[in-house]
Amino acid sequence: MNNKTIVVTGGGNGMGREIVLNLLTRGARVAAVDLSEGALSETARLAGEKSSSLSCHVVNITDRTAVEALPAIVIGVHGSVDGIINCAGIIQPFVRISELDYAAIERVMNVNFYGTLYMTKSFLPYLLKRSEAHILNISSMGGFLPVPGQSVYGASKAAVKLFTEGLRSELLDTPVKVTIVFPGAIATNIAANSGAELKSGVTAETASIKMTPAPKAAQIIVDSMENNSYRVLVGPDAKFLDFLYRLAPKFAAEFIYKQMKALL
């Protein structure tokens, strides 16, 4: 990552912020993208003296026109772009599909899938001109097994999964490497940021689920980019459930239901 320019969406909060900070410690130049100017300012403050290598960009990644203008802006600041990490994402309210309104469905799909698509298509022509470059997309454990109360979120992340895997195959004979990441439960404030509080005042962050610390997740993710990894599972829960779902998909689906039904 030393002297490389990496664009990170969702860089103002949670795992995205930790990825930004991790990249800066490795000598990268970073363009942090987020919807919240205040959140980006806090990321810059936390970067301390390394903030000289950081630029912050307030962009709504569901706005295709705004995203298409971003590569020129980043290159204008840093001189080049070598990689993107599509980390921005939101979850849905913890309700059944029958109770989920279309506005929430469209919001989840627009941020998680179309945001990733717009970023990828907008930056890819520039990445193809580099001697080496990288695209890392973050899916979810919910993108490979069903999580009740997060069915549309899971569908959006499953779309990211297959989009990324197809993209990698299309780019095999190019300088652009592609990685897909499946985090399990990560200790962030994604539920609050998504407006997805749980019933009885419980939040995803305070539920009794063992979570991977966000800085640890960021380390694993950036390592996987440096190593040109193909498929990365983040957290013991993601690794266990990936194995279980491959071994016995029906049993795994029912196991997850028993774990999650109290949240519905």
Q: How far is CA 89 from CA 81, 115, 134, 262, in A?
A: 22, 9, 20, 24
How is residue 263 written in tokens?
Answer: 């949240």
Quote the CA–CA distance of 262 and 221 in Å, as a whole number: 31
Query: Cα(204)–Cα(215) distance, rounded to whole angstroms?
Result: 18
Strand partners, 93: none
Q: Which of 114, 118, 153, 245 is catalytic?
A: 153
Q: In whole angstroms, give the CA distance from residue 106 to residue 126.
A: 29
Q: What is the DSSP letter of 200?
A: G
**The residue to which tokens 């470059």 are assigned:** 133
153 in catalytic set: yes
* Rounded-to-integer distance, Cα 48 and Cα 62, Å: 30
Q: Which residues are catalytic?
A: 153
